[in-house]
Amino acid sequence: MKFSTSSSELLKQLQIANGAIGSNPVLPILENFFFRIENKKLTIAATDLETSITTSIEVVADDDFSVAVPAKILLDTLKALPQQPVTFSVDSKNWGIEITSSYGRYKLAGESGDEFPNVPEPDSVETVKINSQFLLDAINNSVFATSSDELRPAMTGVYFQVEMNKLTCVATDAHKLVRYTTHQLVGEVSKAIIIPKKALNLLKNALPANDGVTISFNKANAFFSFGNMSLVCRLIDARYPDYNAVIPIDNPNQMTLNRADFQNSLKRIAIYANKTTNQVVLDISDQSVTISAQDLDFSNEATEQMPCNFSGSPLKIAFNAKFLAEMLGVLSAEEVTMEFSSPSRAGIITPVEESNVNHEILMLVMPVMLNN
């Protein structure tokens, strides 16, 4: 049983699929790629039982067969080879695999493809479509705000709320929150699901530029398919917190300033902040904001001042500099607006964009109690 293909083309597909293989697989077979040859097409699958990636390429083959190939040794071999044709020969008696290149031969021990778990198939699903660029934008703007707290499983994923042609993605870790909305969805579905961040990070690396993506979901899984690739992930079965309740509505104090300058200032000032709290203080008045931090344990302190447009009453409010800088780093607008109601209530960040019809972004960051 043989097939031949380009080493670089195979490596490209394997590197994407490899993201689904867990660092500590629960079953030894999950350390393998599943190869299935059918009608001169090689389908590659990898899974950790929660997230699965399937991709395919055209190959030169005489037989139809399947085999499980050790992932790490195969990847390392292909990475070390320059681009060239490689031939895989599989012994159907003991599943031994021999790879032949123009440099030589490499033997490794495979396993029967029948041992590999089945990847879930789309069954009784609801389906919507979106351009990959808008989906990528939604993931990039939300996935960073998810929580790592396994005790609150709902917050370890991104909440996808589908309402006909509108997609709202929400992520929060209780310190920061992002709500991203786009009207670029095609479908007639109304549904809310929670997608794990591992699947979204894999999707982020695999999505093609400016291509159509089909998203299907049932009670247990979400299915993303595009080009010759599909990603399946198990949904998080939990109730998402009522995020609208924490977004303050009446915010009379508004500050607009240059995003990049503000972010860079925060990074510099954070060097002098207390390493436990990362607290920076914003002292905002009519035309300027003073950004300061101090670490009393080491007698470190720093202050910077930058111009801003401010309407409202002068205000002094403290935030975690890391959270603020991270949120500003995700946005791409030249200027941002921050809205506040009081020093003890959440601040809201929105990009100043000239009527962007493609999306709306709202970011919320909780304040830190001021050190007197």
Residues 235 and 252 in one domain: no
What would the pLDDT profile of 98-157 be if each residue is shown by its tens digit?
999 999 999 999 999 999 999 999 999 999 999 999 999 999 999 999 999 999 999 999
**198, 105: one domain:** no
Residue 344 pLDDT more than 60? yes
Domain co-membership, 136 together with 235: yes
pLDDT, residue 209, reads: 85
The b-or-e profile of 339-368 (16+ CB within 10 A means b, else e) is bbbebeebbbbbbebeeeeebebbbbbbbb
Please report the pLDDT score of residue 286 as a whole number.
86
Q: Given this model, what pLDDT does residue 357 score? A: 76
Residue 339's domain spans which residues? 247-365
Read off the CATH number of the domain in which 210 is found: 3.10.150.10
Three-state secondary structure call for residue 309: strand
Domain boundary among 244, 276, 299: 244
Does some domain include residue 68?
yes
Which of 115, 141, 176 delimits the end of a domain? 115
C-alpha–C-alpha distance, residues 147 and 213, integer Å: 26
Do 284 and 333 lie in one domain? The reply is yes
* 310 and 334 part of one domain: yes
pTM of the model: 0.91
Q: How many CB atoms lie within 10 A of CB 244?
A: 9
Residue 208 has pLDDT above 80, yes or no: yes
In a domain, 370, yes or no: no
Chain centre to alpha carbon of residue 156 = 11
Task: Indicate whether 133 belongs to any domain.
Answer: yes
Mean per-residue pLDDT, 350-369: 87
Q: Is 316 inside a domain boundary? A: yes
Same domain for 294 and 214: no
User: What average pLDDT does this structure show over 73-100?
Assistant: 96
Indicate if 263 and 240 belong to the same structural domain: no
* Neighbour count for residue 158 (Cβ, 10 Å): 26
pLDDT in tens, 58-68: 999 988 999 99
Residues in the chain: 372
Residue predicted with more confidence, 180 or 24: 180
Q: Do 96 and 144 have their domain in common?
A: no
- 251 lies in the same domain as 356: yes
Kindly tell me if the per-residue pLDDT of 355 is higher than 70. no
Q: Is the pLDDT of residue 182 over 60?
A: yes
| Residue 121 in domain | no
- Count how many domains the chain has: 3
Indicate if the pLDDT at residue 372 is higher than 60: no
Confidence of residue 241 (pLDDT cuts 50, 70, 90): very high
> Of 244, 278, 295, which one is at a domain's C-terminal end?
244
At residue 62, the pLDDT reads 86
- Measure the CA–CA gap between 372 and 365, rounded to whole angstroms: 21
Same domain, 25 and 66: yes
Instruction: Say what the pLDDT of residue 371 is.
Output: 62
pLDDT at 276: 92
Average pLDDT value for residue range 62-86: 95
**151: which residues sit within 8 A by CB, 6+ positions away?**
none
State the chain's mean pLDDT as an integer.
94
pLDDT of the residue at 354: 67
Alpha carbon 343 to chain centroid distance?
32
Question: Is residue 185 one of the residues assigned to a domain?
Answer: yes
Specify the 3-state DSSP secondary structure of 237.
Answer: coil
Whether residue 314 is predicted with pLDDT greater than 80 in this model: the reply is: yes
Share of the chain above pLDDT 70, in %: 99
Can you tell me the distance from the alpha carbon of 61 to that of 44, in angstroms, rounded to the nearest whole number? Answer: 15
Domain-embedded: residue 371: no
The answer as to whether 151 is a domain residue is: yes
Q: Write the pLDDT tens digit of every residue in 287-307.
A: 899 999 999 889 999 999 999
Looking at the fold, whether 109 and 166 belong to one and the same domain comes out as: no
Give the pLDDT score at 329: 95
Residue 73 near residue 84 (C-beta atoms within 8 A): no
**Which residues lie below 8 Å from residue 276, measured CB to CB, with a gap of 6+?**
none
DSSP symbol at 355 = -
Please indicate, yes or no, whether residues 74 and 180 belong to a single structural domain of this protein: no
Residue 255: count other Cβ atoms within 10 Å of its Cβ. Answer: 22
